[in-house]
Amino acid sequence: MTVLTGIEPRGLQHCETTAAGVLLRHEGIDLSEPMLFGLGAGLSFVYWDARNLPFPFLGGRVKPFELTRNLAARLGLTLEVEETGSARKAWRNVAARIDAGRPVGLQLDCYHLDYFGTKVHFGGHVVAMYGYDEEYAYLVDTAPQGGAVRTGLASLALARAERGPMTARNRSFWLAPPRRPVAWQEQVVPAIRACAAAFLAAPIANVGHRGIAKAARLVPGWLERAADPARDLPQAALLMERAGTGGALFRALYRDFLGECLQFVDDDRLRAGHRLYAEAAELWTEVAALVEKAGEGGEAGAAHLRRAGALLDDLAHVERDAMQALSELGPRP
């Protein structure tokens, strides 16, 4: 049995920032969740639909693990990653690090985890592992999932080995101390600008502000797209608003990140971005509520979806304007 002491099982709202927070605190770096999310340039948008999906998915963040990579680079940390197709080697990779006194991040499919109440496949889930015994792995997950939790070793192996969208090959990772000290306050403006640039210049039409505009066009037709509107529309709303995102499809986290930055960055463009993302967070919550109500079907449901589409069109403009202002942060010419 090896269970690390001194690990603060601080469950946050988002899985990847929760795991990153555990690994960073082990290295003596303690940042708020909004700051972790913002320094990792975690905000994005994708409208994702495909033949193998039962219903469209609205995503509000960058793809899984990109936030962790960005965060490590910003803080000057070495990110070590191991992947393998062998379940036996995958376990050895993790156990060796924990035995050496280091918590480990894992990317896996939450469907198989014992403590997950909602059985939905999602291969981009991330947890921090800080111990194990003959029966259980000891993890830190999000606050909604319980924070400090445990799952059977067999269920953990299944979760890590699952294949499908957004999964990884038994990925485990950890952070090594910085090669040189990095003042994280100096990294917030570059992180904001990088996030804004990616959002504004997304290469395909279902990503960034163009993706939100595409959602505005397609969401009014979701009653016809849904096999079971009473099930599919409330489920879509749940994923948008409460599925570990901090609410409002991650916009609330980014709003709070920008608000923290205002404590030491005096710039009208930052104030504009903060104000606009405060507005966006409220609008996204309203969109989710309308999508949920649309599950009742009929003309009332269709009207709710038309209203949601109109709000999404507003959001495409609000977020484009916010990111345009934030992309120009820095010394004025």
pLDDT of residue 246: 63
pTM: 0.94
pLDDT of residue 182: 81
The four Cα atoms 117, 122, 127, 129 give a dihedral, to 10 degrees, of 80
Residues in the chain where the model's pLDDT stays below 70: 243-246, 332-333
In terms of Cα–Cα distance, which of 39, 59, 37 is closest to 48?
59
Residue 243 CA neighbour count, 13 Å, CB half: 23
pLDDT of residue 119: 81
Cβ neighbour number for residue 263 with a 10 Å cutoff: 8
Q: DSSP 3-state assignment of 182?
A: coil
Contact by Cβ (8 Å): 162, 111: yes
Q: Report the C-alpha gap between 274 and 278 in whole angstroms.
A: 6
* Domains of the chain listed by start with CATH number: 2-30+78-176 (3.90.70), 186-327 (no CATH)
Tokens matching residue 100: 């050496």
pLDDT of residue 261: 98
pLDDT of residue 259: 98
pLDDT of residue 313: 98
pLDDT of residue 180: 75
